[in-house]
Chain A
Amino acid sequence: MPSIRQNAHSDVLPDFRNLGVIARVLLAANAAALAAALFAARDLVQGADLFVQTATVLEPLLLACIVTLAAASPLLGRLVYWKGCVAVLAIVAALTAAAYAAVSAVAADAAEGTDLARMLVLSALATALLLGYFRLLAKAYSPALVEARLQALQARIRPHFLFNSLNTVLSLLRRDPQRAERALEDLSDLFRTLMSEPRQFVRLADEISLLERYAALEQLRLGDRLQITWELDSAPADALLPPLVLQPLLENAVHHGVEPGTGPGVVLVRIERRGERVLARIENPYIEEQQKRAGNRMALDNIRERLLLFFDAEARIRTSAADARYRVEIEIPYRTDAQTTARTGTA
């Protein structure tokens, strides 16, 4: 399975169409040329002179490189990293040779005192240094990408659920204002968690209370069609887990197992500690065409990905269908360390 972790850590070529990348290339190449000119010159005036001379060849070459790489960027992006680097080097070398040929043709005297080999080595060096720099840059930014990904993964609840819940609250306002108040409080808690810091672990007790709040809202809406059996006696309240790992599973169970049925549907929520592991199981009536829907798969992939970001290979998620029941089981290590955060966030 492709994971964010691998994506974030494997090297990729920069996007040469990106303005930031282009600006960096221009700046670095010109700074290097200026430094070289000053180094070779006796004084500042001669250095400036030398730089201007170099620039007449350097700038067109740079522009040609940038335009070509930008055009080739989508193709380069598809190559394995090292092959991409070779391709970039080859493109730069070819353009350098072309520039050399052009300069020799236009002004034979200007080409004097320079040779092709020197230009090729210089441009190859500069390219290699820049590629190295971009690679480090990408590494430095990847945790931010991971964080953004986490945020996107977490902030997902069915809009359908929100609007139906609001409609339920509206229907209660006149008949039973106190229940309406409680429903709004439950809804607030749910959304507070949805918008919380995605890198932080939460206590299992908090996730369970979230499950109960969610269940209370759905109960109002679905009445006795929704029957939830809670088996939480041996659930370790202090175990830590990423936020909103269990709630989407319960939401799925209700959405795919109870809502499409005309009769009552029984959902089981069982959480227990077994040695150094925490096991959670959520079961619902199996309605085949529902369970295969994209929505269900998406929620599961989402949770799998987040468990991976938080626990790496130590977490497991399994689904099965048997005896007209659909089961999702999650297994995570039992951890209570208050300092634990998503490892990718600190890597």
Chain B
Amino acid sequence: MSLRVFIADDEEPARERLKELLGDIAAELPTSVVGEARHGLEALEQVPQSGAQVLLADIHMPGMGGLELARHLAGLERPPAVVFVTAHDRHAVEAFELNAIDYLLKPVRAARLVAALRKAAAAVPDRAQLARAAQAAREYLSVVERNRIVLLPVRDIVFLRAEQKYVTVRTAAREHLIEEPLVALEREFAGRLVRIHRNCLVARAAIRGFERNPGDDEAQWLVVLEGVPDKLPVSRRQWPTVRELVADKRE
């Protein structure tokens, strides 16, 4: 049976070249191309339904690059293996080497392609590996609903709250549950989100003000947020940091 491959690259000649090479290596490693996309968002829509086993993804694509694409796909029940392709990106290549993620350099050689496809099918890089290799914060968080990936733009997030196994993502429109540690999210989006409590991060931009929280000694203040009715307690420990941030914002 042939290996099902999906190609994501914003340049048409680059996609053509990869297909040509897949044709060349067919005798050695039979493959079938089950889909093509011109950027990360397009790939995200099509890959889950395509039944692809391996995704060949360019690192630099408009809208969403290969790395973020792979991180969202990793949420699928059976994510495709990913082989990254790049013309020249020293930093990305270093990160891949460091985290044992396979990649190909353009122009791609047929022999390297065969080796990468074989290796990829054997070992799918996991979320943690991809997260370590990423050099920039994601533009989106994602949840999988019935084998479809739903994207939550990070700029729409009002707050994140840890609840046992899950983290609730609250946007002005609705709530979602994701399975990512709050600590990692805090680190990734440090510029955008601020911790107000052991279990809660809020978007700095969404903070409207504070209210007294009478009767609670642990959290004397509540934060009032833009777009949602919830008022969230600020822990005594986080209060000085939060107050300073907001003071900075006013200036």
Residues of A whose CB lies within 8 Å of any CB of B are 158-160, 162-164, 166-168, 170-172, 174-175, 220-223, 225, 259-262
Contact = CB atoms under 8 A, between A and B. Distances in A.
User: Considering the complex of A and B, which 5 residue pairs feature the smallest CB-CB distances, nearest first?
Assistant: A171-B17, A163-B87, A171-B13, A159-B88, A168-B13
Interface in B57-71: 60, 62-63
Contacts of B14: 164, 167-168, 171, 221
Nearest to A223: B12
Nearest to B9: A167
Contact of B87 (A167, A171, A222): A167
B87 A164 contact: yes
Contacts of B10: 225, 259, 262
B208 interface: no
A262 to B, nearest CB: 5
B226 interface: no
A164 B106 contact: yes
Contacts of A175: 16
A170 B62 contact: no
B175 interface: no
A159 B87 CA distance: 8
30 contacts: A160-B87, A160-B88, A160-B89, A162-B88, A164-B14, A164-B106, A166-B107, A167-B11, A167-B13, A167-B17, A167-B106, A167-B107, A167-B108, A168-B11, A168-B13, A171-B13, A171-B14, A171-B17, A172-B13, A174-B20, A220-B13, A221-B11, A221-B13, A222-B11, A223-B12, A259-B10, A262-B10, A262-B38, A262-B39, A262-B41
B17 A170 contact: yes
A172 B107 CA distance: 13
Contact of A259 (B20, B38, B62, B106): B62
A281 B107 CA distance: 34
Interface in B39-79: 39, 41, 60, 62-63
Contacts, number: 58
Q: Which of A158, A171, A220, A225 has the most CB of B within 10 A?
A: A171
Nearest to B42: A262
Interface string B1-22: 0000000001111101100100
Contacts of A223: 11-12
Given A163-B105, A163-B107, A260-B62, 17 more contacts: A160-B88, A160-B89, A163-B88, A164-B106, A166-B107, A167-B106, A170-B17, A171-B14, A174-B20, A175-B16, A221-B11, A221-B13, A223-B12, A259-B10, A259-B62, A262-B39, A262-B62
Contacts of A222: 11
B113 to A, nearest CB: 13
Contacts of B39: 262
A221 B13 CA distance: 6
A222 to B, nearest CB: 7
Contacts of B20: 171, 174
Contacts of B88: 158-160, 162-163
Contacts of B87: 159-160, 163-164, 167
Contacts of A170: 17, 107
A3 B88 CA distance: 31
Interface in B78-96: 87-89
Contacts of A260: 62
Contacts of A167: 11, 13-14, 17, 87, 106-108
Nearest to B18: A171
Nearest to A164: B87
B175 to A, nearest CB: 29
Nearest to B61: A262
B107 A259 contact: no
Contacts of B89: 160
Contact of A261 (B16, B60, B62, B106): B62
A266 to B, nearest CB: 15
B63 A262 contact: yes
Contacts of B108: 167
A340 to B, nearest CB: 36
Contacts of A163: 87-88, 105-107
Contacts of B38: 262
B16 A171 contact: yes
A66 B164 CA distance: 70
B90 to A, nearest CB: 9
Contacts of B63: 262
Contacts of B41: 262
Contacts of A166: 106-107
Interface centre among A167, A170, A259, A260 (most CB of B within 10 A): A167
A180 to B, nearest CB: 10
Nearest to B62: A262
A91 B60 CA distance: 57
Contacts of A262: 10, 38-39, 41, 62-63
A260 B106 CA distance: 19
B189 to A, nearest CB: 16
B62 A164 contact: no
A172 B63 CA distance: 27
Contacts of A221: 11, 13-14
Contacts of B11: 164, 167-168, 221-223
A223 B13 CA distance: 9
